[in-house]
């Protein structure tokens, strides 16, 4: 399997700003104190409109920023290696608890787990429906991961790696099923779907390894995404690993 690359990955939000985002998302906090407001002013991020995806963030001093009107425009990446405080996540940790987002398996409403895995010549932490003791790759018959955002977003991406090392006895070849990501609005309507863009495993090939699936919308109407791998009739179906969930966060 090709070695994993880190190209075209959105930047990780700094810990102080991440704490701020968590504070803003809390309905229990009526207002930000003066110290937090000053920190927001110092850490406001701006995207370059000429880039398709931000490869870095530039700090700009705000001009007459009203402290009562918080403005943030950045990308947040959940790498499943560390929590927002920079503390390493252990194998089997509950992903939703670590990041403060709802991440569940719609089949049985179980949690999503942070899992350690070896892929090719490297190791990674991924997100999975399976707890420790079960290989973390999964497909639609076993379930999916639904991620619900605190507020609607317009862009989201996730890295996926299809896994299968066994020929399907029905076709004497490898299954054509692919990892996918679906985006839904607040009413549960399907907005868009992205499929794994690379080659999936087949005879004499392990496929293209880690690839990024991305969905972009013209408005902020994505409230939930679902990630899994397509289900097929093969006895030995393709499954998938998922990592680096990134999304475009904006306030107001």
Q: What is the DSSP string of 133-180?
A: TS-S-B-TTT--EEEEEEEEESEEEEEEEEE--S-BTTTTB-----EE
Using only the alpha carbons of the chain, give its radius of gyration: 19
Q: How many residues does the chain have?
A: 252
In a domain, 9, yes or no: no
Domain boundaries, position 46:
15-251
Q: Has residue 1 been placed in a domain?
A: no
For residue 43, being part of any structural domain is answered with: yes
Domains identified in the chain, total number? 1
Position 2 in a domain: no
From residue 110, give the alpha-carbon distance in Å to each of 61, 101, 134, 167: 44, 14, 15, 30
Q: What is the mean pLDDT of each run of 10 residues along the chain (252 residues)?
A: 46 43 43 41 39 38 57 93 94 96 94 90 89 94 96 97 71 76 97 95 74 97 97 82 96 85
| pTM of the model as a whole | 0.73
Any domain includes 6: no
Residue 59 lies in a domain: yes
Ramachandran angles phi, psi of 36, nearest 5°:
-65, -40
Whether 4 is covered by a domain: the verdict is no
Supply φ then ψ for residue 225, to 5 degrees: -125, 160
The pLDDT score that the predictor gives to residue 31 is 39
The per-residue pLDDT for 143 is 96
Q: Would you say residue 3 lies in a domain?
A: no
Residue 225 is predicted with a pLDDT of 98
């Amino acid at each position: 399997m090709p070695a994993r690359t880190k190209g075209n990955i959105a930047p990780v939000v700094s810990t102080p700003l991440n704490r701020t985002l968590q504070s803003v998302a809390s309905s229990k906090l009526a207002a930000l104190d003066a110290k937090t407001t000053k920190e927001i002013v110092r850490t406001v991020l701006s995207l370059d409109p000429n880039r398709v995806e931000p490869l870095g963030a530039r700090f700009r001093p705000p001009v007459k920023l009203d402290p009562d009107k918080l403005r943030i425009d950045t990308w947040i990446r959940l790498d499943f290696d560390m929590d927002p405080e920079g503390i390493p996540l252990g194998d089997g940790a509950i992903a939703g608890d670590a990041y403060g987002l709802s991440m569940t398996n719609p089949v049985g409403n179980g949690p999503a787990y942070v899992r350690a895995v070896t892929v090719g010549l490297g190791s990674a932490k991924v997100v999975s429906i399976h707890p420790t003791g079960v290989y973390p790759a999964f497909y639609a018959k076993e379930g999916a991961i639904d991620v619900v955002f605190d507020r609607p977003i317009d862009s989201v991406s996730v890295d996926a790696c299809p896994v299968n090392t066994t020929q399907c006895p029905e076709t004497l070849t490898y299954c054509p099923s692919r990892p996918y990501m679906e985006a839904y609005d607040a009413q549960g309507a399907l907005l868009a779907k992205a499929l794994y863009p690379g080659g999936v495993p087949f005879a004499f090939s392990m496929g293209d390894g880690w690839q990024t699936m991305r969905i972009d919308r013209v408005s902020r109407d994505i409230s939930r995404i679902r990630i899994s791998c397509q289900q097929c009739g093969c006895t030995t179906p393709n499954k998938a690993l998922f990592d680096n969930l990134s999304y475009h966060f904006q306030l107001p």
